[in-house]
A = this chain, B = another copy of it.
Amino acid sequence: MTTPAKLTKKDFQSDMDPRWCPGCGDYSILAQMQTVLPDLGIPRENFVFVSGIGCSSRFPYYMNTYGFHTIHGRAPAIATGLKMSRPDLSVWVVTGDGDALSIGGNHFIHMMRRNVDLKVLLFNNRIYGLTKGQYSPTSELGKMTKSTPSGSIDAPFNPLSVALGANASFVARSVDVDPKHLQATLLRAAKHKGTAFIEVLQNCNVFNDGAWEHLTEKSVKDSAQVKLEHGKPLVFAKGTKGVRLNGFTPEVVTLGQDGVTEKDLLVHDEKASPSRSMLLAELLGPHFPTPIGVFRAVERPVHHELDQAQLAAAREKKGTGDLHKLLHAGDTWTVS
Q: Mark A265-296, 1 if CB is under 8 A from B, else 0.
A: 00001001111101101100000000000000
23 contacts between A and B (CB under 8 A): A102-B110, A105-B105, A105-B109, A109-B109, A109-B162, A110-B154, A114-B153, A114-B155, A150-B313, A153-B301, A153-B303, A153-B310, A155-B300, A157-B166, A158-B167, A161-B166, A161-B167, A162-B165, A248-B273, A248-B276, A274-B282, A275-B278, A275-B281
Q: How far is A170 from B185 in the complex, measured between Cα atoms in Å?
A: 35
A314 at the A/B interface (Cβ < 8 Å)? yes
Which residues of B are found within 8 Å of A110, using beta-carbon distances? 102, 105, 137, 154
Q: Is A1 an interface residue (CB 8 A)?
A: no
Q: Are B141 and A274 interface neighbours, CB within 8 A?
A: no
6 other contacts beyond A274-B282, A275-B279, with CB at 8 A cut-off?
A: A105-B105, A113-B154, A150-B314, A157-B166, A161-B167, A275-B281
Contact indicator A282/B278 (Cβ below 8 Å) = no
Task: Tell me the complex Cα distance, A105–B105, Å.
Answer: 8
CB of A73, distance to nearest CB on chain B (Å): 9
Q: Across the two chains, which residue of chain B brings its CB closest to A159?
A: B165
Query: Is A231 engaged at the interface, CB distance under 8 Å to the other chain?
Result: no
A64 to B150, CA, bound (A): 39
Please determine whether B167 and A155 come into contact, CB atoms closer than 8 angstroms: yes
A157 touches B167 (CB 8 A): yes
Tell me, yes or no, whether A163 is within 8 Å of chain B by CB. Answer: yes
Chain B residues lying within 8 Å of A162, measured Cβ to Cβ, are 109, 165-166
Counting chain B CB atoms within 10 Å of each CB, the highest count among A141, A156, A279 belongs to A279
> Which residues of chain B come closer than 8 Å to A303, judged between CB atoms?
153-154
Q: Are A115 and B155 in contact (CB under 8 A)?
A: yes
A90 in the interface (beta carbon within 8 A): no
Tell me if A205 is interfacial: C-beta within 8 Å of chain B. no
Nearest Cβ distance between residue A13 and chain B, in whole angstroms? 35
Cα of A142 to Cα of B158 in the assembled complex, Å: 31
Residues in B whose Cβ lies below 8 Å from that of A81: none
**A65 at the A/B interface (Cβ < 8 Å)?**
no
Q: Are B248 and A156 touching (Cβ within 8 A)? A: no
Task: Report yes or no: A278 in contact with B274, Cβ–Cβ below 8 A.
Answer: yes
Residue contact B158 to A306, C-beta cutoff 8 Å: no
What 1/0 flags go to A56-75 for Cβ under 8 Å of B? 00000000000000000000
Contact: A301 with B167, CB < 8 Å? no
Q: Is A106 an interface residue (CB 8 A)?
A: yes
Q: Which of B272, B301, B313 is in CB contact (< 8 Å) with A248?
A: B272
Residues of B within 8 A of A102 (CB): 110
Q: Which residue of B lies closest to A279 (CB)?
A: B275
Let me know if A178 is at the binding interface, CB within 8 A.
no
Contact A157 B307 (CB under 8 A): no
Q: Which residues of B contact A105 (CB under 8 A)?
A: 105-106, 109-110
- Complex Cα distance, B153 from A300, in Å, reads 12
